[in-house]
Every structure is written in structure tokens, then in C-alpha cells.
Amino acid sequence: MSMDAILVINAGSSSLKFQIFGIEGDALTRLVRGQLDGVGTRPRLKATVEGGAPVDKTYAPSEITDLPAAIKTVRDWLAALSGFTLRAVGHRVVHGGPDFSKPVLIDDAILQRLSGYEELAPLHQPNNLAPIRLVMEHDPDLPQVACFDTAFHRNHPRQADVYALPLEFYDEGVRRYGFHGLSYEYVSQRLAEIAPSVARGRVIIAHLGSGASMCAVKNGLSIDSTMGFTALDGLVMGTRPGQLDPGVVLYLVAQRGMSADQLSDLLYRESGLKGLSGIGSDMRDLLASADENARFAIEHFVHRAALQAGMLAAALEGVDAFVFTAGIGENAPAIRAMIAGKLAWLGLEFDVAANEAGLQEISTSKSRVKAYVIPTDEELMIARHTLAVVG
């Protein structure tokens, strides 16, 4: 007997993450989890299927040269599986602009509007929309839902989102959006299950991965974030610089003669941990390295994270909890310890042993500010939204 299911797609520049969730009433069960990465260089499909053997398959670079080819490969592989019938596809779409504050059923008009935000998220938006177009071509009757990384932040007070530019710019969409909203929404819901009274208070959630940001959450709602108009602002990231004086960009244009494309490449692909260390963007490599610049890049990452946490503490007018999530936040106890050490002034008393053991709560019982590690699950959040939209 075939089970109704939802396919969730999270497409990046060189990778395609996908999961399938079975639908049983209002409940969702994860059936398939997979990723095709190394597109154009070393393509590799890894997947786990509930009740089956793990899949690990490599391809020649010429077989999967771009994202459309990766999507076709995954589609063909999924088509060979049995036991479920796809009823809808949910997509992570990074930028919803000023108009989209909740998930939406996609049609041609919606897709056209979302294409208008590609310049606001050039690393993400074009890749997010590519699989939507492909599904529309091959299975136009299959419902598709866009779930936005910006939507969780759309209830900010206006003074939190405006830039001090003439207001006409705000009206045309130049404003602070904030990102990683699907992650923050999921983690907020998990915190409410783990510690309900804490979740009703003032919480800073740190989504620390190759892309990194923090969010100030009060009673489960986002009130401010470190990211702004684009995903370049705020914390230091794998290849992005984080907060940057716009005068630096003016200098690079006037004195270095850099073009818009050169600036985009510098700010999105060559800065951050990669630019500072000269080694790479992966925090695991930097932590394992004895290189002086690797250590310097880590120290700068931690320094900026602590400063931004102080900013969000001010937005919240105090802090009751600090939550680590995403790749670095979940898997790098050394980074958690360094950041927590700089937050002792807030009242965070860190539990070193709990942190090293990878426990959920990593503050002491006496700590005024609680600290947690909560793994994120953006795909499950997308599946929930998709099910709610398509019924």
C-alpha cells in the first residue's frame, strides 16, 4: 500500500539536499534523507531510506555538470523508489522580499515575483528556484510550496528593519529582512517543548554554519536579527565577511576600480573565515590546524559573535537563554565554549563537562542564563508548512 508523501528540496550552488516525509493524518514520518553534492567537480549521491541499505554513489564530473543535471539525477533515483506517492513538493526559498510573510502555493506569477529577488540573494535564490521550474515543466499538476527564510522575521517592529536612508528606499524594499528563519522557527518550537517557561522569555538563537546569524526571539517571535538586506551582514561566515562599513565598498570601487561582479565575488566567496585564514572556509579544518592565521580567524569569529550577541541582548532588554544550532553550533564544542566564555557578563554560567559530552543543556543548574544545543531541522519545518498549505 502506497503512503502519501511530501518531497522537501533545499538546493544550493553545488549541492541538492532532499527528504521525503510520509503523511499520516497530521503527522509526518521521515522516509528518505539524501544529498547530492560536489556538482561539477566530484558528484556524490548519499542517501538513507527507511528500512533499506544506505546509498553512496559517485559520478563523473561530466555526468552532473550543473544543478539542473543534479535535479534530474535525484528525480530519476527517487522515481525508482516505491512505497509512497508524492502529493506536494516543499522548497526552501531564501528570500521572500517584503511581500511574503508565510509559505505560499507556487504558480507562474509567484515564481516571477520570486525571481525578482535573485539579486538580493545571488548565492541562494537562483538555485532555490531552479528545481521549482523543473518540477513545473515535468509535473505541472504537482503542488509546490515556497517556504521562506525571511518569513519568520516579518513581524519585526518597523524601527528594527529600517535603514537610516530616505524612506523611499524602505518603501521600495531596501530594508532589513533577516534570514535562517526556517531554522529559528524550528528551534523556537523545540525550545518550547524542552523548556516552555524559558521559551516564553528572551532568547538568543545562534545559527552557526557556513552561513551564520543570530536572532533575538521573545515569546517565540523574532524581534531582531544580525542579518539585514542580504545574507552578507552580521556574523563572520565561511566565505562572507559579516558586518562591514559600506565605506570599504566605496573605497574598493574608487581606489581599486572593482566592478560589481568583482565585489560580489569578494564578499560572497572570498572573505570570512576563508579570507582571514588563507586555508579555507570549513571550521573543522581551522580547528584542526596549527596555522597561526587559522587560529586568528577563529578568534575573530568568536569576537564578532560575542559583540553581536550583546547587540541582541540590548534588543531583548535582557536574556533568559542562549541556544546554539546548525553545523558549527551543534558540532564544535570548542567554539561553543569560547563564545559562552565571552557571555559570562550576561549571567551565563557554562558547564564545561556537559558541553564536551554534547548534552542538550550546557549551562549549570545555578546559571541565570540557560544555554542549550538544539539541532535544527529546516526540512521538517518545510514539510510541516507544505502540509498545512496543501491540506
Residues 6+ apart with CB under 8 A from 316: 202, 203, 204, 216, 218, 223, 224
Grid cell, residue 122, equals: 545571488
Nearest by Cα to 342 from 204, 158, 238? 204
- How far, in Å, CA of 361 to CA of 382, rounded? 26
Beta pairing partners, 24: 27
The length of the chain in residues reads 391
- The contacts of residue 331 (CB under 8 Å, 6+ apart) are 284
| Bridge pairing between strands 3-11 and 16-24 | antiparallel
| Cα 378 to Cα 69: distance, rounded to the nearest angstrom | 24
How buried is residue 79: exposed, middle or buried, by Cβ count under 10 Å (0-12/13-18/19+)?
Answer: exposed
Q: What is the DSSP string of 260-310?
A: HHHHHHHHHHSSHHHHHHSS-S-HHHHHH---HHHHHHHHHHHHHHHHHHH
From the list 149, 224, 233, 377, the catalytic residue is 149
**76 in catalytic set:** no
**C-alpha to C-alpha distance for 197 and 191, rounded to whole angstroms:** 9
Residue 367 contacts residue 347 (beta carbons within 8 Å): yes
Q: Which residues are catalytic?
A: 149
